[in-house]
Amino acid sequence: MTRFKQYNILDADFVAQKLQDFFQEDHIDNDITTNTTQNEKTVVAQLIAREELVFAGVQIIQQGFINCTVSCNIKDGDPLQPGDLIASIEGPINDILKKERVVLNLIQRLCGIASITKKLSSITKKHNIELLDTRKTTPGLRMFEKFAVAIGGGTNHRFSLQDAVMIKDNHLKGNPDIIEIVSKAKASNPNKDIQVEVDTKEQLDIALQSEANSILLDNFNPKHLIEVVKYIRGHNTGKTKYIEISGGITAETLAQFCIAGIDGISMGALTHNIQSKDIGLDI
């Protein structure tokens, strides 16, 4: 029961604009090393996978080296082994040298996200549970990182604060009346998902009486979750609510949280705690 738009395509114009910003940050036009040592010689460069990975970022290569001839050997989502050729780039050595680090930084990070997502989503899919990302993304890179999650087989949660109402513990500190604030949120946002985060049985009972579409169970012990999920599904308003769980879930413990009745498991670590993959550019 996917609730939000999925970002499994990177728009070429969007990528081109973002890359211009990143190139400007790196002052590629004032690359004093390349400008004083090179002479626009035409070369062929190869992007090579140095380790096992799931690839994400074809548009980054194509738009990054737009002034060169780019031949991509792979598609987004392809599994690669060490030594596999990702793409060949033919063009002025000056252009390639100035842009290689920005392009590599981006695709290495996205491949890291796609790879861990692929590994972990293979666990949740066995139980028909969505593996969800979060808003714990790198500022300025959210679209890229959400894309990498989708390519890796994960499910995109809300993209930004305007996409859904998510009432968390800090919101309840400002106004603890769950019934009232859910009602107000629903009235103002009739077509949006309304989610309430709960961490106690008392909060859960109130949330089940509200107009919330989704329940977020935060930091529950997996053994306790079995009974809590049964309780929700047995409640007269809980049969159709989206049940999401989060908090303290790691790659090592994920399987323990794949409990019948749960719709989604969200993990911020998919985007904020990843290891970039090793990709090389050889001229």
Residues annotated as catalytic (active site), given as ranges? 101, 136, 168, 197, 218
Amino acid letter at 97? Answer: L
3-state helix, strand, coil in the chain (%, to 5): 45, 20, 35
Q: Are 148 and 8 contacting, i.e. CB atoms less than 8 angstroms apart?
A: no
Distances in Å between the Cα of 5 and the Cα atoms of 8, 12, 144, 150, 263 are: 9, 18, 14, 10, 16
Residues 26 and 101: beta-carbon distance below 8 Å: yes
Q: 215 CB contacts (<8 Å, ≥6 apart)?
A: 195, 196, 198, 204, 207, 208, 232, 238, 241, 242, 243, 244
Nearest of 44, 113, 117, 118 to residue 85 by alpha carbon: 44
- Which tokens belong to 137? 């993304």
Pairwise CA distance, residues 103 & 47, whole Å: 10
In the beta sheet, which residues pair with residue 165?
Answer: 194
Q: Which amino acid is at 222?
A: P
Structure token digits, residue 12: 């070429």
